[in-house]
Structure formats: C-alpha cells, structure tokens
C-alpha cells in the first residue's frame, strides 16, 4: 500500500475541495492517504478581512515529513502564472531533504486553480515540475486516458500536466463535476504508480 500525501494551499477553498477529491481518488486505488496544508503567511486579521477560508480542517505539514510518503501531490492556486507564495515558501524549506536525497524516486504531481480559463494553470504546473525534478521525484500528470479533459461542451480546467479548476474573478465558481473527476483520476493514477515504484 502506497503512502500518499496530498499537500495543498487554499486561500478561498477551491483548492481545498480539489485536494479532498484527489485524496478520494488515491484512496480508491488502495493508498493510505493523508491530507495536509502548508502554513498561511498572511496575518490572520488580513486573511479574515480578505475573506480567506480560515476554517480548514486539514493539519499543517512540516517540510521534514515529506520523506515519510511514497508520493506527494501538491496543490496550490495560481498567482500571476506561478504557484502561490505560501506553497513556494514551504517547498523552499526542503533543502535538507534535497541534501539527503530523501525524496529521490518518490512520485510528485501537481494540481492548481486560476480565476480565468487562461490564467496560468499550465504555467503554474510546468513551473513547479523543475522543483520536483531537482528533488529527484518521478513526475506524474493527468494523462489523456482521462477523457474528461477533452471536448468543448463546457468551460473546464485540466490538462495533461494536472487537474485544475477555474474559480471566476470573484471566486464564486466552485470546482465542476468534471474537474473533480479529473482530481480523483489524478489521485488514483499517482497512487497506482507509487505502489508499483515502492513495491
């Protein structure tokens, strides 16, 4: 049984919802799944005034614990075409793991969100992949075997690089069913590959 960590940052709850869908998918593939989040960097009063979702149930992760898992699926929203600074700050603290080669051979995968359809989802995931490769991780995306990312019948996130959702400029749009299906598929896909690699 592969041990999978779904590690996320979510300001408004969209990525939190996606994270639990990713976890569902990984569990469906037989993985032992933990969902955690990275620390918030915004002061609490500012977060509340900005309507951040401050009641998230997931525990806070520490960088050193990443070595305890066979796969890590990272999720964070897009900020101007790159990953949110809260996730970047957390990952920048993994130098000790890099020095020990503690993540070499483990599976790494990424999902994201943006306000608009072309708001940097692909650049965010593609920009995060070099970090995974520097850590020696095996990068897994969302293959076109997940047919939900095909077709033009609705506006939707998702690409071969990873699952994603579109929030709308005011954050009112929640992940659609096809976007949640993509997240579940990615979670299951990662868990299956991690189980093979860790066997």
Give the residue-averaged pLDDT of 32-53.
Answer: 96
**Contact by Cβ (8 Å): 33, 27:** yes
Candidates 136, 162, 113; CA nearest to 66 is 136
pLDDT at 175: 98
Q: pTM to 2 decimals?
A: 0.97
Q: Residues 143, 148, 11, 21: is their CA dihedral positive or negative? A: negative
Give the residue-averaged pLDDT of 128-155.
Answer: 96
Average confidence score pLDDT of the chain: 97
Measured from the Cβ of residue 62, the count of other Cβ atoms closer than 10 Å reads 12
Q: Is the pLDDT of residue 110 over 90?
A: yes
pLDDT at 120: 96
Per the annotation, binding residues for NAD(+) are: 12
pLDDT at 137: 98
Cα–Cα separations (whole angstroms), residue 161 to 95, 100, 129, 149, 180: 25, 28, 9, 11, 15
Give the residue-averaged pLDDT of 42-64.
Answer: 96
Overall residue count recorded for the chain in this entry: 199
- SS3 label, residue 153: coil
* Domain assignments of the chain as residue spans, ordered by start: 3-198
Candidates 196, 156, 191; CA nearest to 6 is 191
Give the residue-averaged pLDDT of 54-58.
Answer: 94
173 confidence band (pLDDT: 50, 70, 90):
very high
Q: Is the pLDDT of residue 86 over 90?
A: yes
pLDDT at 194: 98
Give the residue-averaged pLDDT of 117-121.
Answer: 94
Per the annotation, binding residues are: 10-15, 78-80, 98, 134
pLDDT at 199: 86
Candidates 63, 70, 96, 84; CA nearest to 14 is 84
Per the annotation, binding residues for FMN are: 10-15, 78-80, 134
pLDDT at 190: 98
Give the residue-averaged pLDDT of 168-187.
Answer: 97
What is the spatial distance between Cα 190 and Cα 187, in angstroms, rounded to a whole number?
5
Give the residue-averaged pLDDT of 138-158.
Answer: 96
Per the annotation, binding residues for substrate are: 98
At 199, list the tokens.
Answer: 């066997």
Give the residue-averaged pLDDT of 168-196.
Answer: 97
Report the topology of domain 3-198. Rossmann fold (3.40.50)
> Largest Cα–Cα distance in the chain?
48
């Amino acid at each position: 049984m592969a041990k999978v960590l779904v590690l996320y940052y979510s300001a408004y709850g969209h990525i939190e919802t996606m994270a639990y869908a990713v976890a569902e998918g990984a569990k469906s593939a037989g993985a032992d799944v933990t969902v955690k989040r990275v620390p918030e960097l915004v002061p609490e009063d500012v977060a509340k005034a900005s309507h951040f979702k401050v009641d998230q149930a997931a525990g806070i992760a520490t960088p050193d614990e990443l070595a305890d898992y066979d796969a890590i699926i990272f999720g964070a929203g897009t900020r101007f075409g790159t990953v949110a600074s809260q996730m970047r700050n957390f990952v920048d603290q993994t130098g000790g793991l890099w020095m020990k080669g503690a993540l070499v051979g483990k599976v790494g995968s990424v999902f994201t969100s943006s306000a608009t359809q072309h708001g940097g989802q692909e650049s965010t995931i593609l920009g995060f992949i070099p970090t995974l490769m520097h850590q020696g991780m095996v990068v897994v995306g969302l293959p076109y075997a997940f047919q939900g990312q095909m077709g033009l019948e609705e506006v939707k996130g998702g690409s071969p690089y990873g699952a994603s959702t579109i929030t709308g400029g005011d954050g009112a749009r929640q992940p659609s069913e096809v976007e949640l299906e993509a997240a579940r598929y990615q979670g299951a896909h990662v868990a299956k590959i991690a189980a093979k690699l860790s066997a």
